[in-house]
Amino acid sequence: MNCLAPSILSADFSRLGEELSVVEKCGITMLHIDVMDGMYVPSITLGFPVIKSIRKNSRMLFDVHLMIEEPERYIERFAECGADLITVHAEASVHLHRTIQQIRQLGKKCGVALNPATPLSVLDYVLEDLDLVLLMTVNPGFGGQVFIPAMYEKIKRLRGEITKRNLKTDIEVDGGVKASNTKAVLEAGANILVAGSAVFEGDIEANVREFQRILQVV
């Protein structure tokens, strides 16, 4: 199923609860939560207290994107705080297979993220264990960047591999997704679209409705 996962990175944090209820009321079922540690990526964003607090008022699936070094150190804590899906970067976890098992043992959905320059081959021996692959379509660290066009080909190749192996793995794209490129991204084979600035800048409800309109047509 195709869906939009708004990224709270671009929300107004002084009104976070209100802005999240707006997207949830529009029918959004998946929320993308970007955690950055100032090491794996230059920025520092949010952590346990924020996730725990928004968990109390939301039924959306919490899609926690860990842009942190050695994410295995914190998997359990994020699970306790209310993450439903935990995504780690392949580049940040030396023993990726073990980290994936750790997430699964906690009963959470598991995703692996790849930076734009990271080849798909790092997934060769773990793809079967994943619920989702997150393809970064900008270099991680900041919202509001421009989608890297070479990533269309990467999405297509990954969709081809998933189909070849007869899997149901979701492909999530993250970075520079706008209403204007949604159709092309879906046609390349992605089915979960993360959008931060394109959702939270301006009229949130109108932005979500526009994405939903396109998702229904494609």
| 58-75 burial: b if 16+ Cβ within 10 Å, else e | bebbbbbbbbbeebbebb
Q: Residues 166-205: x/- map of binding to ligand DX5 (CB under 6 A)? A: --------xxxx----------------xxxxx-------
CA angle 174, 32, 84 (to 5 degrees): 125
CB 130 within 8 A of CB 100: yes
Residues 6+ apart with CB under 8 A from 192: 2, 3, 4, 5, 30, 132, 170, 171, 172, 173
Which range in 7-15, 91-99, 104-112, 162-170 contacts ligand DX5 by CB under 6 A?
Answer: 7-15
Q: Does 37 bind Zn ion (CB under 5 A)?
A: no
Shortest distance (Å) from residue 192 CB to ligand DX5: 12
Choose one: 35-43, 61-69, 164-172, 185-193; the region binding Zn ion (CB under 5 A): 61-69
Q: Is residue 65 a contact residue for Zn ion (CB under 5 A)?
A: yes
Contact positions with ligand DX5 (CB under 6 A) in 60-119: 65
9 binds ligand DX5 (CB under 6 A): yes
Q: Does 123 bind ligand DX5 (CB under 6 A)?
A: no
Round to whole Å and give the CA distance between 50 and 41.
19
Pick the binder of Zn ion from 37, 72, 172, 174 (CB under 5 A). Answer: 174
Residues 6+ apart with CB under 8 A from 214: 179, 182, 183
7 scored as a contact of ligand DX5 (CB under 6 A) = yes
Three-state secondary-structure class, residue 152: helix
Judged by the rule CB under 6 A, the positions of this chain that interact with ligand DX5 are 7, 9-10, 32, 34, 65, 138, 140-141, 143-145, 174-177, 194-198
